[in-house]
Amino acid sequence: LGRFSFWGEYITGSTFPRVKESPMKFRVQLVVCTAEGQAETSYEVAELEKDYQQIEQLGLTLAEAKHLLKQLQQHLVEQQAAAFVLRRSQCPACGLPFQIKERTTRTVHTLFGTLTLPSPRFFHCRCQTSQATTFRPLPALLTASTTPELLFIETKWASLLSYGLTTRVLKDFLPVDETLNATTVQNHTLAVAQRCEEELGEELVVSADKCPKDGSLSSRLEEPIAVGLDGGYVRDWEQKQCHFEVIVGKSVPANQPAKCFGFVQTYDAKPTRRLGALLQSQGVQDTQPLTFLSDGGETVRNLPGQLHPQATHLIDWFHLTMRVTVLGQYLKGLIRLNREVGEVIQKTLESVKWLLWHGKVDKALARLRDLDQRINHFADSYLRFPQLKNAVQ
C-alpha cells in the first residue's frame, strides 16, 4: 500500500491502515532539449486530474486527448516557428540584429488545432540597399494557411463522405478549428483536385501502331491486368431532369493492391491520361496487356479501345448470364406457342451457356447463330419477336 501514498493519505486509528482515495494528479510537460540531448526549457502542456473508481475513468477521454494534442501542437510549432524566425533575425552581411518594426501574429490551421504564432516585422539592415524597408520572416515558412497534412485528411474524407459529414468527423476526433465548415472543406478539396488535375498533364492520344502488337515478346511476358468497369446514371444537381453517366472502375493487378477510379465521359477531357496515371501508380508497364471486364453496356463497351490500345474486353459472367436469363424469358413465350420447337431452342440456349462458361466461344457463337435461325419459325406468331431477335443478335 505504501506506493499509493503519493496521492492517497493513510487514515490511522483503525486496526488496518485505510487509504483515503482522492483523484490522481498528472502533469504533462514538453521538454525542449539541446542538440546534445540536454534538457533546456520545459513547458507545462496540461494538467490532468483522474479518478480511478470506474472503467470509464481510465485513461484519457476524447476531450482530454484533443486538448492535450492541441496544447502540445501549439508549444511545438511555437518553438519551431521561433527557431525559424531567430535564424533570420540578423543581417547576413554584417551580423547586426534587425530592428523590430512591429509585433504581429499569424494564424495557421493544423490537424491538431488552429495556432496563433508571433510573426515580427523587421526593418532591413542599413548596410543593405533594399526596395522594401521592412519584411517578415515567418511567411517563408508558412507558405499556406493550412498545413498539408490537414488538407490531405480533409480531402481524403471529403472523397468518401459529404463535406458536412467530413467536418463532423474531423471535429469528433481531432482538435481542428471549431469554425471549420463544409464550405471550407469543399474549397480545399476542389483546390487539391485542381492541383491533381494540373499534375495529370495533357490527354494522351492512343494509337495502336505506337504500341507493340499483341503477342509481342513484352506483352506475352507480362501478366494481364484486370480492370473492371461499370456505369451508373446520376441526376444532375442543377438541371434535375438531366442525368449523366458516371463510369467507375477498379484496376486489379496480380500482385498489387487494387485501385479505384471514376470519371464522367461527357465531362472529362482526359480519361485516358487518368487511367494511365492510375495504372502507372500501380507499377503497370505501358506494354502490359489489359483485360477490361464490364456489363457490356453501350458506353462502357467503347471505352477499352479508347483507353488502351491493347485492351481485351470481356463481359463479366454476371452480366453475361443475365442476358442468357433474359433470352430464357422470351423462350418461355415460344414454348407456350409451340412446345416442341420451343423446347429445342431452349436446349440450344442452355448449351450456349455451358459453352460460354467453359470458354468455348466459337462453338457458343455457332450455336447462337443456329438459335437465331430457329426462332424465325415464330416470326409471325410471337408478338415480341422483334425484341427477341434483337436480344439474340
Q: Which residues bind Zn ion (CB under 5 A)?
A: 91, 93-94, 125, 127
In the complex, the smallest distance separating the C-beta of residue 89 from Zn ion, rounded to whole angstroms, is 12
The DSSP call for residue 213 is: P
Cβ proximity to Zn ion: between 19 and 94 the closer is 94
Cβ proximity to Zn ion: between 129 and 255 the closer is 129
Determine which helix (DSSP H) or strand (DSSP E) holds 349, and give its type and residue range: helix 339-357
CA distances to 86, 110, 341 from 370, rounded to whole Å, are 87, 69, 13
In the complex, the smallest distance separating the C-beta of residue 86 from Zn ion, rounded to whole angstroms, is 17
Cβ proximity to Zn ion: between 127 and 248 the closer is 127
In the complex, the smallest distance separating the C-beta of residue 190 from Zn ion, rounded to whole angstroms, is 45
8 A C-beta contact, residue 182 and residue 224:
no
Cβ proximity to Zn ion: between 126 and 336 the closer is 126
The runs of H, that is alpha helices, within 175-254 are: 182-200, 217-221
CA distances to 72, 315, 348 from 389, rounded to whole Å, are 73, 20, 15
8 A C-beta contact, residue 49 and residue 24:
yes
Cβ proximity to Zn ion: between 96 and 365 the closer is 96
Q: Which three cell numbers stand for residue 119?
A: 510573426
The runs of H, that is alpha helices, within 160-270 are: 163-173, 182-200, 217-221
Cβ proximity to Zn ion: between 129 and 241 the closer is 129
In the complex, the smallest distance separating the C-beta of residue 127 from Zn ion, rounded to whole angstroms, is 3
The span from the CA of 113 to the CA of 107, in Å, is: 10
Is beta strand 100-110 parallel, antiparallel or unpaired with respect to 113-123? antiparallel
Phi first, then psi, for residue 209 (nearest 5°) are -75, -15
Cβ proximity to Zn ion: between 99 and 105 the closer is 99
Cβ proximity to Zn ion: between 93 and 217 the closer is 93
8 A C-beta contact, residue 319 and residue 231:
no
Q: Which three cell numbers stand for residue 152?
A: 490531405
Phi first, then psi, for residue 42 (nearest 5°) are -125, 145
Residue 108 CB coordination number (10 Å): 20
In the complex, the smallest distance separating the C-beta of residue 104 from Zn ion, rounded to whole angstroms, is 23
In the complex, the smallest distance separating the C-beta of residue 133 from Zn ion, rounded to whole angstroms, is 14
In the complex, the smallest distance separating the C-beta of residue 95 from Zn ion, rounded to whole angstroms, is 7
Structure-derived torsion over alpha carbons of residues 167, 172, 175, 180, reported in degrees to the nearest 10: 20
N-to-C CA span, the chain: 87
Q: What b-and-e string marks burial along 292-306, b requiring 16 or more CB atoms within 10 Å of the CB?
A: bbbbbbeebbebbee
The span from the CA of 388 to the CA of 391, in Å, is: 5
Cβ proximity to Zn ion: between 3 and 87 the closer is 87
Cβ proximity to Zn ion: between 1 and 127 the closer is 127
